[in-house]
Every structure is written in C-alpha cells, then in structure tokens.
A and B are shown apart, each in its own frame.
Chain A
Amino acid sequence: MALFAVMLLTPLAATALLSLHGFGMYKGIEDVYRLDNYRDILRDSYFYGIFARTFRLALLVTALAVVIGAPEAHILNRMRQPWRSVFLLAALSPLLISVVSRTLGWALLFGSTGLVNRGLVALGLIATPLQFMYSETGMVIALTHVLVPFMVISVWASLQRLDPEVEHAAVSLGASGFATLRKIVLPQVMPGVLSGAIIVFALAASAFATPAIIGGRRLKVVSTLVYDEFLNTLNWPLGAAIALLLLLANLAIIVGCNRLVERRYAQVFE
C-alpha cells in the first residue's frame, strides 16, 4: 500500500523537480533549479494561445454536455421499462469503448465518407461542405460525444433522489408541465448538473487522443503540446512545467467548484 503511494507520488515529485531544470539545444537537460520555464510559458503568446484554446474548448464542451446531457437524463428517467434500461445502456455504454475508436468514428463521419456534410447539405442547412477535421468545431463535437455520458450519469443520479410526490403535488396544484420542470425538478437536480459539469470540464481540459486525432498536428491543446515537447522537441523540463500548470489549473477548478457547489447546495446534500 505504501508502495502504491510511492509509485504515484515519487514520479510526480520528480516531475516537479524536472520542470525547474534548464534545457539547451546542444546541452540537453541542465541540472539547475530555476523558474525560467514557468516564466517563458506565462510570457509567450504561443503557449498562452494554446492554454486559452484548451480552456475555451473545455468550456464549450461542458456547455454542450449540459444542454444535451441533462435533458436526455430527464427524458430517460421518464421512460418506461424496458426502454429505460435499454436506452440508458445505449447512452452510457460508449464510455467503455476505446476513445481512439470513438474518435476514429468522428474522423470518418467528418472526413472521408463525409456523411455529416452530406446530411447537412441534403437537409438544406448548409450550401457548401463545412470543414470539421482539423477545426475547433470538430474537436468540440467529438469531445462532447466522448464526455456527455458523464453528464447523463451525474444528472441521472440526482434525478433518482427526487421524490415523485413533490412533482405530483405541483401538478395537482395546477402547475403546467413546464412550470413543474422549471420550479420543482430543475432546482433539485442542479447539484447533479454542476458536478457533472466539473467532471466534463476537467476531462475535456486534459483530453489527449481526441484533440490529437481531430485537431491534427497544427491545432494543439495543452496535452498534445506536452506530448510534442516530450516526444518531438525533447524539451522535457518545459513539457513538465506545462503539464504541471495543467494539473494545477485542473485541480484548482475541480476543488474550487466542488467547494462552491457544496456550500451553495449544502441543504440538498443532507
């Protein structure tokens, strides 16, 4: 057990030290301790742009996941058996399928077979085919697909805790279906939506395979940047510094939002 902690913490600590080292094209990794890498990252607009893109994508994916996933969880919850179980599994089981396979599916839909574009043209929604591969739009769609099950799970869990009697009471007091949804159901599932959003955001910000395949080599996000620094440029100290910034940003967001949700909705959790 102690071994497990060692296996996890030693490499992380070593990475933190590594991020302080210098790097020269001819000298390789220099055994010094400086904050130069962090300074470079924070000053350089190239890195700044990649961090901004990553968090912009993550925000968009989170928003889409809320808009698609939360209503779907509600609809699933109102279905009758056996449809409920069947569709719940259809919505969630892709989680167990390799991310590479699922992203390949989007690459096929966007690119070679072009089914998405053909469909949109056929529906009269667009006149000329859109560029999905190697675009942020494509990355957002594919990432949303990969991560939306987490939102469904989270909202589903909070829907299971609802008391249907309260909903019935609202309806019997003359509330319309929409009013019941807005005033009764929504406030109670908000914590589920928010904790789902935190999970989706954290995973979207650190996603690797999907942005790498859909975005290609040019359209980088933080994790593909780390990959390039480590395996192509071989500037390990810089890569380590970028990775640690990603870890810190992620942890800050997860822990910060969790606190916020727990304080704001303390009564719901009791």
Chain B
Amino acid sequence: MSRNGPLALLFHALFVAFTLAPIVIVCAVAFTPQGYLSLPTHGLSLRWFRAIADNSEFVDSFSTSLWLGAVSATIAIAVSVPSALALARYRFRGREALAAVLQSPLMIPQVVLGIAFLRFFTEVGLGGTFAGLVLGHVVIVMPFALRLVLTAATGLEREIEHAAVSLGASAWRTFRRVTLPMILPGLASGWVLAFITSFDEVTMTVFIASPRTTTLPVRLFLYIQDNIDPLVAAVSAALIAVTIVAMVLLDRLYGLERLLVGEGRR
C-alpha cells in the first residue's frame, strides 16, 4: 500500500486541528482565571469549576442527567435483551417489522420526536415529569442499545445453551448462568453507549423537560442562548470529562474503534 505524501499529511494535520480545536478551546477557556471569556495565558484557575458548585441549577441538572441516563439505559437494555435474542435466533413473522420499529427513531428528526412527545405527555398527564423524560429517552437510545446487544446475541454459540438444557438446567437457569454471561460484554457496552446518548441528548429533551427536570445539556443550551461566559465553558469541560470516562469504559468493554467503525478487515 502506498504511503501518504507530504500534501496528504498536511491535509491530515489540518483535519485533526479542525476536529479538535473547538473541544480544546472549551477546555482551555474553562481554566481561565479571568472574570470574562479569555484564554488562560497567565496561569490556570479552578474558579469557574467552583462556580458550578455554587450554581444549584447546574448541579441539579447534572444529577437529573445522570439519573435519566442510568434509568433509560437500564430500561433500554432490559427491552433489548429479549428482542435481540429473538431477532438473532428465530425467523418469525413480523421479524423485519420489529427490527424496523426498534431502529426507526434514528430516521425521525429529534425535533419531531420532541414535539410529538410534548403533546403526548401533556395529554396523558406526564408533561414535564421525570417519568416522561425517561420514556422519551428510552425511545431515543433504544437503537444504540439494541445494536450492541444484537451483535453479541448473533455471535452466540447455541450449542453451549443446548448442552446446559440437556444437562437438566431450567430455561431461566440456562439464561442466567449460560446465556447472560456470554452476552454480558455486549450488554455492558450497549448500556454505556445508551447512557452517553441519553446524557448528551438535547434536541428532544428541550421540548419535554420542565424547569425542575431540566437535563444538563438542555440547561447549558438555554444558558448559552442568553449569554456565554467562562461558567458554560467549565460546565462543558465537565460534560466532556464525563464523556471521556464513558469512552474509556467503552474502549475496555468493547473496543472504541470497533464501536465507531465496526469490525475491520485487518
């Protein structure tokens, strides 16, 4: 295979700079010691991170986001496991339809989901509640959870399950002691991916959250609409930190490269 020429490497350097510049600048500005937006040229300071702690709205939103992500990822996984096992094992009528419905939230603009849920939740009395947020988020993160659980379920060797059954294990025991441990890595990485997706979601949530149930990205978005100060840079840096922790987890559990671009040939 031919090597990259100097022009190609220059292009590559520019691309990487373009990709990382906004992220780097947010993190840099977050450490400014000044009271206004600036790069920390004269030393670093944590004053804006301390300012987050004094801002109860951001702190509340942060915990809302963490809970929302954890609960909706857990529900999405709980629904994904039986669906993925069914999709991976059996050819049944409606199989295509089931897969299509589970994947369809990817095709629908999140603005449309947002207004659809806003109206729906208001009608059924869940408007602005945490339960409503969870339901909406489960729908959005489902395709991501399902994809990873499905990959794990498809690679499953059924002979091992058959062996367990023939040795007298009950269906539930086979599932718990044999099937579940084998799909656990897929399940865990599906959970983390679902969690990140929910944790970062802003477009749909901006419609269905009430002031008491606002998530961190939505709070950040609404704040930025009015004014941009080092505080939002610090909150963003914190968000990025949470995401990086999740990425490291995903890399350990599943392989980040495999998650992002699928199985390579080499």
Chain A: residues with CB nearer than 8 A to chain B? 1, 4-5, 7-8, 10-12, 14-15, 18, 68, 71-72, 75-76, 78-79, 85, 87-109, 111-113, 115, 142, 145, 148-149, 153, 156-157, 160-161, 164, 167, 171, 177, 202, 205-206, 208-209, 212-213, 217, 222-223, 226-227, 230-231, 236, 239-240, 243-244, 246-247, 250-251, 254
Contact = CB atoms under 8 A, between A and B. Distances in A.
Nearest to B39: A113
Given A99-B202, A206-B110, A231 B207 contact: yes
Contacts of B206: 208, 227
A239 B116 CA distance: 11
A11 B25 contact: no
Contacts of A239: 115
Which has the most chain A C-beta neighbours within 10 Å: B26, B39, B109, B236?
A: B109
Interface centre among A72, A161, A246, by most chain B C-beta atoms within 10 angstroms, is A72
B109 A223 contact: yes
Contacts, number: 231
Nearest to B27: A105
22 contacts: A4-B138, A8-B139, A71-B8, A72-B11, A75-B12, A85-B257, A88-B261, A96-B247, A98-B243, A100-B236, A101-B23, A104-B22, A105-B21, A108-B22, A108-B25, A108-B26, A108-B37, A160-B264, A202-B107, A209-B221, A226-B115, A230-B207
A101 B206 CA distance: 15
A171 B79 CA distance: 52
A208 B240 contact: no
B152 interface: no
B246 interface: yes
Interface of B: 1-4, 8-9, 11-12, 15-16, 18-26, 29, 36-39, 79, 82-83, 98, 101-102, 104-105, 107-113, 115-120, 123, 135, 138-139, 142, 196, 199-200, 202-203, 206-207, 217, 220-221, 224-225, 228, 232-233, 236, 239-240, 243, 246-247, 256-257, 260-262, 264-265
A149 B224 CA distance: 25
Secondary structure at the A interface, as helix, strand, loop or mixed, is helix
Given A4-B139, A105-B21, A108-B29, A97 B116 contact: no
Nearest to B109: A206
A94 B109 contact: no
A75 to B, nearest CB: 5
B101 A98 contact: no
Contacts of A164: 1
A19 B232 CA distance: 36
Given A15-B116, A160-B265, A226-B111, A100 B79 contact: no
